[in-house]
Amino acid sequence: MIVAVDLSPLWISLQTAAVTIVIVFFLGVLSAWRVERLRSENVKIFIDGLFTLPMVLPPTVAGFFLLVFFGNNRLIGKFFLEYFGIQIAFSWIATVLAAAVIAFPLMYRSARGALAQVDKGILEAARSLGMTEWRVFWRIHLPNALPGIIAGGLLAFAHGLGEFGATAMLAGNIAGKTRTLPLAVYSAVAAGDWNSAAIYVLVIVVICLVVVIGLNVYQYRVKKQQES
């Protein structure tokens, strides 16, 4: 028996995850670098906790805060709607925003851990040669931390792909518009369509498995290169 399945959740999820990882990759790496360079440990601890908070909050709570700021009748959402004609809540933009907020902490923590492991002696040697902080970051710090950062990026991509709670709160569950794969699974089960739900689940599992295997292969090759 052939089951007709709506493929729009797959494309919406892939597009959302692709845009999300571009956003959180750069924001996560730059934020991690800036936090690492803070002199005050108290400030560093506070900002680190603030950036990590979405990782430990229930996704629906994060979605609630997003609605408070980006709802169509709220401060930021109303501003974009009135002055730019851009509706954030209950649009595809909302799926990206929700996924980015949830995936950012994972990218940030991975980037910060990778940057912290770089030998500080190499960085100080570069500074002693007159290199600016920006050049030290781009030419030495980032390349040496890149394996760990890329690993974090792959995990953040998978995390953004599977985001459910915050997306449901901010973007809703609109078929063909904001219904991602996790939301499609929920909708199919709620409608009693277990065959479609099983197909969506299988697609999610395959994509995430490919990401994890890709991550393991990448880390294995990096390890081999370092040993040689």
127-185: pLDDT as tens digits: 888 888 889 999 899 999 998 999 899 999 998 898 999 999 999 999 999 999 999 99
**What is the DSSP track for 179-216?**
--HHHHHHHHHHTT-HHHHHHHHHHHHHHHHHHHHHHH
Would the CA dihedral through 53, 103, 217, 26 be positive or negative? negative
The mean pLDDT of the chain is: 91
pLDDT of residue 3: 58
**pLDDT(42) > 80:** yes
Share of the chain above pLDDT 70, in %: 98
Task: Report residue 224's pLDDT band, with 50, 70 and 90 as the boundaries.
Answer: confident
**What is the DSSP track for 128-184?**
HTT--HHHHIIIIIHHHHHHHHHHHHHHHHHHHHT--HHHHHHT---TTTT--HHHH
Task: Report residue 99's pLDDT band, with 50, 70 and 90 as the boundaries.
Answer: very high
**pLDDT(26) > 90:** yes
pLDDT of residue 120: 87
Task: Report residue 58's pLDDT band, with 50, 70 and 90 as the boundaries.
Answer: very high
pLDDT of residue 2: 54
Query: What integer is the mean pLDDT of 8-28?
Result: 95
The Cα–Cα gap between 188 and 203 comes to 14
Share of the chain above pLDDT 90, in %: 70
pTM assigned to the model: 0.90
pLDDT of residue 219: 84
Greater pLDDT, 106 or 3:
106
Backbone angles phi, psi at 218, to 5 degrees: -60, -45
**pLDDT(117) > 70:** yes
> Contact, 115 vs 141, CB < 8 A?
yes
What is the distance in angstroms between the CA of the first residue and the CA of the last residue of the chain? 53
The Cα–Cα gap between 107 and 157 comes to 9
Greater pLDDT, 228 or 95:
95
Which of the 8 DSSP states describes residue 39?
S
**pLDDT(126) > 90:** no
pLDDT of residue 39: 85
